[in-house]
Amino acid sequence: MFKNVVWATDGSEVADRGLLFAEALAAGEGSQLVVVHCREFFVGGRAYGYPLNADEDELEAKIEGQVAALRDRGVDARLEVVDAPAGRAAHVIAERARELGADAIVVGTRGHGPVAGLLLGSVTQRLLHIAECPVLAVPPTAVPAEAETVGAKGGAR
């Protein structure tokens, strides 16, 4: 059912929770997992063009390691790094998923309640409204059955 799965990650522990679910969705023969990391950057003023995250290089290295671990486990996975102005990550991820013909987008969520989510906003919240395919939002308490045998960081437990 899921041939093209996108796992959207910012490199955070919140995003990491979605990895095992994304891997499980992309487990079938002929399926692929595209890991999309959106680099957000400042717009305007002297900071124009600088990444929002000071540790962007470390985040990308971590994500590259996760993709390598997926491949080691036999998953057809690849990393795509896309750029977006601050606050536009959800739009860029949704557009890339559309271009890829994604059957689903998997993202982690911080688990804010409806009011806090509305006030704080989030990439996940926005994706739920603008994506053209289903979005699997993985809450902080979710643990897939595979978690007992495969760790989210790529190693066996």
Helix (H/G/I), strand (E/B), else coil: 31: coil
| Confidence (pLDDT) at 48 | 53
Residue from 90, 103, 92, 154 nearest 132 by CA: 103
Order of strands across the sheet with 77-85?
77-85, 32-41, 4-9, 104-108, 135-138
pTM value surpassing 0.75: yes
Mutual angle of helices 123-130 and 89-100, in 10-degree steps:
40
Which CATH number is 4-141's, of 3.40.50.2300, 3.40.50.300, 3.40.50.620, 3.40.50.10140? 3.40.50.620
Residue from 91, 99, 101 nearest 131 by CA: 91
| Confidence (pLDDT) at 7 | 97
Residue ranges for the chain with pLDDT beneath 50: 116-120, 147-157
* pLDDT digits 0-9 by tens, 7-37: 999 898 889 999 999 999 998 889 999 999 9
- Give the start-to-end residue ranges of the domains of the chain: 4-141
